[in-house]
A and B are shown apart, each in its own frame.
Chain A
C-alpha cells in the first residue's frame, strides 16, 4: 500500500467518502469504498478508517446540530450498504476454530453500524460472528445465548443513556457464563462505565477488540480482575433511584416542560414540542444513567453538550438551569439524583456553565 497517490490514503479517502455521504450519493459512496479496495487498500482499513471514520464525523456534525437526524440516518443507511458491498467484494475468509462471537447493540441503541463494522472486522480475524442487529432486547439476547452458545458477547452502544440496559444484557450473559466485551462511546472515553455495568472488558474500537480477543478469548480483559469480579453494577440505592427516574420519565418531561414554558401546561401531551420533549427525555435518561453508574461526569457531559446545540423548539441554553431546578424539586426523595442535579454545570449552586 502506498500513501503517495490520493485514492489509497485513508484520510483522503475518508474526505471523499464523507463528501458522498453529505450528497446522499449511495452509488458514489460505494464507488469510493470499492475503488479503494481495487487500489489495494485492505478491507479493514476501508471499514474502520474510511467508513467508521466518516461516520464519526457524521455523528459530530449531528451533535453540533449541523445535520438533522434524518440526514444522519441516510448517511448511516448508505454506509450500511457500503459495508455490505465491501463484504461482497472482499469476503471474510472462512472462520477458523477461534470460537463464536455474538455482536449486539444495546436495547434502545439504534446505531447498528459500529456493531456491524465490528462484526465484519472480527469475521476477518477468524471468528464465527453472529450479528444480532440494532436495539436487541435483553430477552432476545438471552434466547440467542441459550441457542447458539457464543464464546463471547460483544455489546455496542454510543449513548451513555443506555447504560442501565447494558447492565441487563451483561446479567443475561453472565447468567450463562458468557463474558462480555463492551465497546462504543456509551461506556466512556476510557471505558470506565463498562466496568460499572459489570462488563468484563472494554475496547475503544474494532481493531482493539480483535486484538484483545486474539490475546485472550475468555476475559476478563480489565487489568484488575478483582474490581470486575466483585463489582455488582449499580448498588441498591443507585438502582432504585435509576428505576424511579425511568418510571417517572414521561411525567418528569411534562413537569419540566410546564415549568419552562407555562403555556404548554395542562394541555394534551402533543402541546409540548417534540424537540423539547426529546431533549428533556434525554436529560432524564442521562441523569438516570449517571445515577446508575454513580458518576456525575456522565451527566455533566450531557448538560454541557445540550448547552452547545441549538435546535429550534428544543431545550434552550437559557432554560437548562431552570430545567435542572424543576427536576431537583420533583425528585426531592432521591438524594443522589438531587446531588447530581445540583452539581451539574450551569445549575444554581453548581459549577458555572462552560457555554453561554
Chain B
C-alpha cells in the first residue's frame, strides 16, 4: 500500500527539537523506518519526488501519472535485482531529503560503510548498498559540508599512487579526504547517479567495474549505464563520452557540466 502525504514539521515540535528542518525530517524518516514494522518512508525531499514500483516502466509512469509532473532533473532506474528477489520498495532511487541515488552494482565495502554511517545517527533498514550510499552522500554534503566533488574524492578516492603524483595542492586535498573519511571509501563495482537540489552527479567506482556514459546536447545532460539508453531520448548528441573510474561528472542547473 502506498500512501502519499505532503507534510511539514509542526513548528512547535521543530522548535522543541532544536534541530533544523532537514535534520528533524531526516530523524523522523529514520524513526519510522526503524521503528514501525513494514513502514518505510521512500520520499522525503522538497521539490524532489521518488516513485517506486515493480512492473514495466511505461506502466509505472502511468500509475504515478508522471506526465503531470515537470522537473529539470530526472533519474530512472530499471532494476535487475543483483541478489535479492524483486520488491517494489527495493527499487531505486533511494532517497533522503533532497538526495537521491540510483546505483548499478554491488559494493564490497557495505558493512564497513554501514557500520560507519550508523555511528552518525543513520539506520540502515533496507539492507541494500544503495541506501548506505545515499546516507553517506547526505552525511558528507549536508552535515560535514563537503562539496560533491570532494565527496567523490572520499567515496571513489583516487589510489595512493595517483595521489602521490598529483600537484601539491591537489595532493594535500585528496590525501586529507582519504585519511579523514577512510571508512566511507566505497569499493566494488558501482555506477551511481546522485540527484540533489540543483543538479545531478554521475560517478563510477575507481576501477570502473561498471559502465557509465555521458551524453550532451545543447543544454541537456544525459548519463546512463548504456549509451543506447541515451540514444532513445536523443539521437543526435553533441558529445558522448565515458568518464574515468572515480571521476565525478556533475551537472548543475545554472553552472552547466562540471
* A and B interact: no
